[in-house]
Amino acid sequence: MRKLVYYVAVSLDGYIAGPNGEFDFYPFDAEQMAELNAEYPEFVPSHLRSHVGMAVDEPNRHFDTIIAGRGTWEPGLADGVTSPYAHMRQYVVSTSLRLDDPKVEIVAGDPVALVRRLKKEEGLDIYLCGGGNLAAQLLGEIDEMIIKSYPVVAGGGISAFAGEFSPTLFTPAKRKEYGNGALVTWFTRA
């Protein structure tokens, strides 16, 4: 069965972005970017691949489907990019977003039902791109997490899980620290 994997950057105080969606406060590290992009090429948006030295048609290694919330999709839309992950099946969970792009499916219904249906299909794993509201709704379906923890306090913003109190145990499977102080941890559901 396919797995749902939440891949996200997070501050020391648990925020994935600032109050207005800012994420440029995370310290950059070339080694970290190169290693993660090589291992997970599907996480790099199609239109940005050539900017990071990657072939536009770089094959997917782990994922062939992405699911995201409206807030995660909006920065690309503001730049005129409607299909940022054209190398994967794209689902955006939203009751308000209107988008005319046949490569992107807007899902106004239950995200849990969507993920359960997708998990039963053949294919690679499913990338949960964010945001925090959607991650909280899908917490019971998340099988693994790849958390990039950065040594910065945001002080406010968008929480990694913005939902009800629901303690859920995950087990660290692997960790790696980078020169910018970031700690990447791979977690599996306990």
Q: What is the pLDDT of residue 69?
A: 96
Q: What span, in angstroms and rounded, lies between the C-alpha atoms of 99 and 71?
A: 14
Helix ranges (DSSP H) in 83-154: 111-120, 132-137
Which residues of the chain have a pLDDT value below 50? none
**In which element (H, E) is residue 62 found?**
none
pLDDT per position as a tens digit, 101-137: 999 999 999 999 999 999 999 999 999 998 999 999 9
pLDDT at 21: 87
Supply the pLDDT for residue 167. 95
The confidence score (pLDDT) of residue 8 equals 97
Calpha distance 23→77 (Å, rounded): 16
Q: Which two tokens stand for residue 47?
A: 């239109």
Averaged pLDDT score across all residues of the chain = 96
Residue 38, Cβ density class (10 Å: 0-12 exposed, 13-18 middle, ≥19 buried): exposed
**Residue labelled with tokens 């968008």:** 158
pLDDT value at residue 50: 94
Question: Which region holds residue 49: left if phi is over 0, alpha if psi is between -120 and 50, else beta?
Answer: alpha
Phi then psi for residue 78, to 5 deg, are -60, -25
Q: What is the pLDDT of residue 136?
A: 97
